[in-house]
Structure formats: C-alpha cells, structure tokens
Structure 1
Amino acid sequence: MKHRLVTRSDFDGLVCAVLLRKLDLIDDIFFVHPKDVQDGVVDIGPNDILTNLPYVAEAHLVFDHHHSESERVGHANANHVLIPEAASAARVVYEYYSNRDGYPPLRVSDELMAAVDQADSAQYELEDILHPEGWTLLNFLMDSRTGLGRFREFRVSNYQLMMELIDHCIEHQDVDDILALPDVAERVALFREHEPRFIDQLQRCSRVVDDVVIVDLRDEDVIYAGNRFMVYALNPQTRVSIHVMWGRERRNSVLAVGKSIVDRTSPVDIGSIMLTQGGGGHVAAGTCQVEHADLERVLDRVIAEVATPRPTDTRRAA
C-alpha cells in the first residue's frame, strides 16, 4: 500500500518527496502550511506520511527534527520519528529507511543530502548570502519566504514546479542542469532583478534593539523578493531577527523569528519562546501568529525574551 506525503512546499519537503518516491512508498503529495496541520484544518489519516510538520496522532508516520515538538507532544509515540539533532527532516527520513530491513538502498547523491542539511539548518557563509549559486540558489528560489510567488505569472505555478522538481532531482545529478530549466531560470531572473530593491527595503524597515533587528513590513505596499538571510548580512552586529508581517488575508499578524547565521552566538531557544505564544519552531528559528489587538504586547514580550546583551554591552544596565 502506498501513502500520501504531506509536507511543506520547500527544499526539505522536496527532498523528502524524492526519498520516498525512490522507495516507492508514496503515490500522492500534498503541500501544506504547518499551522493548518497544528490547528486541525488539514484532514490527516492513517494513509498519510508527514514530514517537517507538527505531530498528528492519526498519521501513519511523522518525521520531524523540530525539538519544540517533543515539548508540545509531551511523550514518545511509535509513529513519531523525531531526531532533534538532525539538520533536516529529509535527513531523518534518510536515516530511518537506510537502517531498516525490507527497503531498497537509498541511492541519492551525497551532494543533494548535504545541500538539504545545509539549507534547513541555514549553515551558510556570508558569500552564500550575498552571491548564492547552485543548490543554495535553488533553495532560496523555493523558499516561500523569498516571496517570488507574489510577482509575475510564471509559466507554471509554484505547486506545479515543485512536482516537476521532484522528477528533475531524481533524474539530474547536476544542479546547474536544474537551474537551467526554463521554469527555474525565469525565477532566477526575477530573483536577481529584485535584489537591489529588496536590500533598500530591508534598510528602510529595520530597527535595532540590543542584539535584535526588527523588520516591520506591514506598511509596505510591495514586499520585494529576496533571500531571507540578507538582513543578517546588512546588520552583522545583531544576533536575532524578528520579521513582522500580515498573516493570511490580513486576519492576523505573523512574527517570524530567527537567529543570525552571520553571528551564531545568541543563547536563546527561539522554538520554546514561540511555543509560549502559540507557535513553534526549533532552537534557531520559529514563528507565531498573533491577533491584531495583541500584537504590540506580544512583540514587546518576544523582543525582551530573545534580546541578550553581550558581556561587554552595558546599555541595558544604564
């Protein structure tokens, strides 16, 4: 019996799909938002395999690496494969099936697995942020937070492209072949075109509190597409970012919090902090959705909890 894969529409979800397709375990793929899974909006049943999503007891198997899930769920479950130290959900899937009898060898390139681990754990250097190429560029193009989907009617939708990329990643070992595909190349062109306006917008909409940079995009008519790590390259003195954005259909607001990948010395556990606000995540990144009336209060609290003065920083004590 084959299963339905339910996952996020990102690079990690893509590689999870590639692995499970190679194992011939899935015949359907459904891309979802994690909040919809957590709120029970998505109907999950015993035929479903979930990756990189909140745990649902009714699922056949749930693969994850978000440590906040162990806190939220509270106990171990036989169908919950949770490895918090794994760099990606795809790595959890890979390790699980590589060590089990009855499954064929997982023949996937080391380069692809290294790329998804690097992408989902954000292990990028400054040069990768400023001048992305190869798998790094493909990851940024697929990341919904890059925002390419807000612009231009592409020849195929993002969903169609994700489905096509699953096949392409199985067929092609060279990422340059994938980037040269017409439906990918047109997104590369738009990404490059937006970059200078995206950088200008980040600089206009940012303020810094202690070691935290807050980027409030709610008053922007157009939010330009760009690499979500650029804010750290532009504010290397900070260690945490908070993006404030409208939620779906402006029904609420979203706080997207992340640790800098330029200065990785922040000691805070962002996933646990987001969990207290009804969201989740892992040590280095997390999100929560907030009602409009509560936004300023919640934002102030989150800033206070994630900001940590450096040992030589006496500004808070003054």
Structure 2
Amino acid sequence: MASAALCSKAYGVNRIFFAGPVQIQQARATVTARDIVCDLPYPAECALWFDHHQGNLADLEERGLDPASIPGRFAPEKSCARVVYQYLLDEGRKLPDFFAELVDAVDVVDSFDYASVEEWRAETPAHVVANAMKGEFRSPSQRNLFYRNLVYALRDHGLEKVARAKAVRRRYEAYLAEEENMLRLLEQDARPLEAEPSIVLVDLTRHNRKPFVWKNLAQVLYPEALAVVSVECAFRNGRKTNDLGFSMSLTIRQNRSGEPKDVGEIMRTLNIGDGHPGAGAGRVSCRSKDEMLRRKDEVLSRIVELWRVQGKGDGG
C-alpha cells in the first residue's frame, strides 16, 4: 500500500491493481511497458520495478537479466516502500513530510522488527491500518476497493489521519473480534515441533474449509518460540486440494537475539518458494492425500535441518 501511495503521489498514477507473486510469474496478470510494479517478481516488461526480495533478484539472474539495466531499483531493504521512497528522494522528488513516518512504520511492520510482543500488539496508527487490511472481506472486489481507497488516503493524508478514518476503524475493530477466534483456533492447531521445540508448527491441514488465521499470533501462546511455520491445504474455488502451502516467519524473540536466520533462504533452498530473512512462503503440489501427508513431514524435517545449520558458520 505504501509503495503504491508513493508511486501514485510521485508519478500521478491513479489506476491501482493488486496481484500476487504467482500471478506475475505465470503471466496471469497483464503488465505493460507503462506500468510500475512494486514488491513483486519482475514481469516480462514494465516502466519501473521496485523490490527487496533476494529470491526475485536471483530469478533475474537465472533469466539472464541484469538488475542494473532495469528501470527502478532493487535493494535489500526492510520494506519495498523504503526502496521506492529512497529512489524518489534520490530523483529529487519533493514528497509530503508524512511519507517519512509512513515508510518508517512500514519498515517495522514488514520486517517484524519489534522489541516485544507488547509493542507488536499495541494500538498504534500503523497497527490500526495493518490490521484493518487483515480482516476478512466478503469478496475480492470488496477487498480491492478497500485497498485502493487506502492507497489514495495514505497518498493524500498520511498514516495518522488514515488510522482515524471511520471505515478503517470499523474494520480494525472487526479484526480484533476475529482475532479472539484465531487464538482459540491456534490453541487447538499450534504446537512446538517435537524435533525442534523452538519452532512452533501451526498445522491447518485438518480443516475442510479454509481457516482464517494469522500464524504470528501463535507467539502470544508460545512466547519462547523463535519461529512459526504454518502448513495448510490449498483451496481452489472453495474446494480443498491435496496441495500444500507453507509459510514461515521469525518471532520477535528470534529477531531480538541477533542470531542470523533467513527464512527466505530456507524456502529457496527447498525450491518451493521465496521470501526475505524474516518471512517466507512456498507451495508443494501433491497428487493424493498419502503424498500430501508424506511431503508435509518431509518438508518440515528439511526446514528443521536447514534451521539448525543457519548461522553456524557466522558465529551464530
């Protein structure tokens, strides 16, 4: 949202569209030479590309593309918003002062750079807006409309004012109610991995309807955890499949420890997905339930192996 707000302000862009990495990689989203692409893999063409994911940089190299030849910027910053913001400043663009506060807040939220669980859970303008985005939507069109209006509001008014808007507050309050249900679900489905108790597993594969839950809440129940990994069956058109989705993130405790860990590197090594040091995700295709159960155990075992290896050569 912040990246889009910055680009909209700097370049007068008013047509905002939302896509995921897979849509870009599989060319399921139309991108032209006039478009600006943020926080996503590089498409076949675009006017400007901004990103901070190491996996997307590696993808460019595999495609024989030189990042320096692509208009825009790649930089391993805490957020894509930081990449865009610094690029615009280097261009000599004049931006309202409130964008500095917005980008600082996005850096913290995107990298999960909190000093404590209490700080993460505190009601701040950044958390009000971020949690308003997390709540359930009736449809993709309702979600995209809310997101688009949020981009325009952040562009024109900044974070503090947007966090006080009635529509944002309404969704934030609704999310807090949903969060209580999530914590109850996590009490059933979250547990430390037997092979590596510092990693909490959120196993959602038993559910026949796609559960709505944010895995990071597991550290409220397990404050000693260093990472949270979730696994769930993919749903297509509301129907459960045998394909698996994995998601992993470092906890606040791990981030404060200073020990080098890179979740994105784990996903890339497994060749199932990508991410950045603090968080990553991947997908595994399975042809049957038996294969799904077997692959789930295999991937979790490999995650533990890679987790234990990381940092050993760097004094960690």
Shared topology, TM-score over 0.5?
yes
Q: Helix, strand or coil for the counterpart of 1:87?
A: coil
Give 2:184's aligned residue: 200
Gaps of 5+ in 1: 1-13, 312-318
- Determine which structure has the larger helix proportion and give its number: 2
Gaps of 5+ in 2: none
In the alignment, the residues of structure 2 paired with residue 62 and residue 199 of structure 1 have an alpha-carbon distance, to the nearest angstrom, of 38
| Structure 2 CA distance for partners of 1:223 and 1:234, relative to 1, 3 Å | farther
In the alignment, the residues of structure 2 paired with residue 116 and residue 254 of structure 1 have an alpha-carbon distance, to the nearest angstrom, of 25
Q: 2:94 aligns with which of 89, 93, 105?
A: 105
The yes-or-no answer on 1:181 pairing with 2:165 is yes
Give 1:115's aligned residue: 105
Matching residue's letter, 1:76: D
Q: Helix, strand or coil for the counterpart of 2:41?
A: coil
| Structure 2 CA distance for partners of 1:307 and 1:187, relative to 1, 3 Å | farther
Q: Helix, strand or coil for the counterpart of 2:281?
A: strand
Q: Deviation above 6 Å: which 4+ runs of structure 1?
A: 308-311
Matches within 5 A, 1:60-209: 60-74=47-61, 76-77=66-67, 78-79=69-70, 81-84=73-76, 86-100=77-91, 104-109=93-98, 110-124=100-114, 125-142=116-133, 146-149=134-137, 157-173=142-158, 175=160, 177-209=161-193
In the alignment, the residues of structure 1 paired with residue 199 and residue 283 of structure 2 have an alpha-carbon distance, to the nearest angstrom, of 19
| Structure 2 CA distance for partners of 1:153 and 1:42, relative to 1, 3 Å | closer
Matching residue's letter, 2:251: S
| Structure 2 CA distance for partners of 1:153 and 1:248, relative to 1, 3 Å | closer
| Structure 2 CA distance for partners of 1:218 and 1:197, relative to 1, 3 Å | same
CA offset digits 1:108-157 (Å, max 9, x no partner): 41221211111111112311333433212211222xxx4523xx689x81
Q: 1:287 aligns with which of 281, 290, 294?
A: 281
Give 2:263's aligned residue: 270
Matching residue's letter, 1:191: Y
Contact 2:202-2:215 within 8 A present in 1 as well: no
Q: Helix, strand or coil for the counterpart of 1:29?
A: coil
- How big is the alpha-carbon RMSD for the aligned residues of Structure 1 and Structure 2? 2.7
| Structure 2 CA distance for partners of 1:262 and 1:230, relative to 1, 3 Å | farther
TM-score, L = length of structure 2? 0.81
CA offset digits 1:151-201 (Å, max 9, x no partner): x689x81211111112222333462x4334332232122212123221121
Q: Helix, strand or coil for the counterpart of 2:16?
A: strand
In the alignment, the residues of structure 1 paired with residue 130 and residue 279 of structure 2 have an alpha-carbon distance, to the nearest angstrom, of 17
The yes-or-no answer on 1:33 pairing with 2:24 is no
Contact 2:264-2:279 within 8 A present in 1 as well: yes
| Structure 2 CA distance for partners of 1:199 and 1:30, relative to 1, 3 Å | same
Q: Shift in Å at residue 205 of structure 1?
A: 0.5
Deviates more, 1:15-24 or 1:121-130: 121-130
In the alignment, the residues of structure 2 paired with residue 309 and residue 61 of structure 1 have an alpha-carbon distance, to the nearest angstrom, of 34
In the alignment, the residues of structure 2 paired with residue 190 and residue 222 of structure 1 have an alpha-carbon distance, to the nearest angstrom, of 21
CA offset digits 1:266-304 (Å, max 9, x no partner): 533221221232311111211111113353233332233
Matching residue's letter, 2:74: L
Q: Shift in Å at residue 309 of structure 1?
A: 10
Matching residue's letter, 1:235: Y
Q: How many residue pairs were aligned? A: 288
In the alignment, the residues of structure 2 paired with residue 49 and residue 173 of structure 1 have an alpha-carbon distance, to the nearest angstrom, of 21
In the alignment, the residues of structure 1 paired with residue 308 and residue 225 of structure 2 have an alpha-carbon distance, to the nearest angstrom, of 10
Q: Shift in Å at residue 57 of structure 1?
A: 4.1
TM-score, L = length of structure 1? 0.80
